[in-house]
Amino acid sequence: MSDSGSDNIPGWRAPPHRVPHDFPLSASTINEQTRQQIEQIEQMRRAASQEIAQFVAENGHRLRGLDAEQVADLATGRAFRFTHAERIAASAAMPHTRARINTIPQPPEPPERQEPKKLITTLVSMLPETTYNDAAKGTESTLTYVKIQRGLLKYLATHASDTLTARQAHIWTQAISSDRQPKAQDALRLCYYMRSQGFDTYADVKDGFVSLYIANQQTDLRGPQSDPLYWKQNFKTNEHSMASGGGARGARRNAFVAAPAADEAEGLLAHLIANGARPPPPPGFSPVVPRAGVGGPAGGGSGRDEAVENLANRCANAQVELEVLLSSEFADPTAVQAAIRRVDNLLERLAA
């Protein structure tokens, strides 16, 4: 019976025509409809599979050379395939998992290694440039010599080249030999290496001795009167007669001279005492030199005894002067070096 004939039935009333948006669907209703559509699609797939299996069983000899899609077309037309609407329904029914964002905090990147800041070095050397050949004929780079070279470079990484003291230069020169008795040739070689790295060191060879100095930047005059001597050695016997001097050196241009550190002053005085000098008297003490025949040894001491006593007093006076210089706020490096030489000279005369 057609719909058009139903209008003639007495008492029958056609239902009103409604569109889908007249009945808003809830989420549960939509899920139920999607499930039903999936079941229908699965039924169609099973039916199509059965039809294909039956068709292949009956017409297997006729299907040679055909692929699976052609066999399916012959068996069921295209009925078993998904239509566009069915694919949309199946896609809507599948659970979609939203991509998760990795919220695990990443470890912070390690900070970049910062090299120690290099201090301002001497831009203009007091001395002319010199060339240094580390592989010169007749030279040997021992392990101790290479260690001192590395120590020089580390020093330049944190210190200005014009802050080198005579004490430090003496320590480096003495340490290039494992027995602390370097050859004069090696000491001279290290001096030129230091010069090539920016230190104001130079050598003076005279009367068979090599004397190594640090140039004083406050004057253009070169020599022992103005420049600190840090090493002196005989070229023939390799005997060095220069003891480690004080820590003071020529001041930088337009700069004050700082007083030597307390440990350097104590080390210098300990060295003098170890060489036979008496401890310096307390500040304010003024030794009195006895006159001839007064306060001398009983029984008419010899003139040699009086000379020794006089020399000892002069040595004590020199030590007091040196102590005053080392304890002053602004020490004159030239005066300090002169006082050190005077004390060493008096000690040698006392030991003779």
Q: pLDDT at residue 244 above 70?
A: no
Q: What is the pLDDT of residues 5-45, one digit of tens each?
A: 555 556 566 666 655 555 555 556 667 777 788 888 888 87
Q: What is the pLDDT of residues 139-184, one digit of tens each?
A: 778 899 999 999 999 999 888 888 899 889 999 999 998 888 899 9
Is the distance from CB of 164 to CB of 214 less than 8 angstroms? yes
Instruction: Between 26 and 191, name the one with better pLDDT.
Output: 191
Largest CA distance in the chain: 174
Q: For 131-145, 201-215, 277-291, which range has the lowest pLDDT when averaged over its residues?
A: 277-291
Q: pLDDT at residue 314 above 70?
A: yes
Provide the whole-model pTM: 0.40
Contacts of 171 (CB under 8 A, 6+ apart): 244
Q: pLDDT at residue 299 above 50?
A: no
Cα gap 309→306, rounded to integer Å: 5
State the angle between helix axes of 27-58 and 68-76 in degrees (0 to 180), rounded to the nearest 10. Answer: 100
191: enclosing H helix or E strand: helix 184-196
For residue 163, give the DSSP letter.
G
Residue linked to tokens 């797939």: 45
Q: pLDDT at residue 256 above 80?
A: no
* CA 47 from centroid of its chain's CA atoms: 78
Band the pLDDT of 233: cuts 50, 70, 90. very high
283-294: average pLDDT? 47
pLDDT at 3: 52
Residue of 259, 260, 254, 169 whose CA lies nearest to 217: 254
Q: What is the pLDDT of residues 67-121, one digit of tens each?
A: 666 666 665 554 444 455 555 565 555 555 444 555 566 777 777 776 666 555 5
pLDDT at 257: 39
275-298: average pLDDT? 47
pLDDT at 17: 60
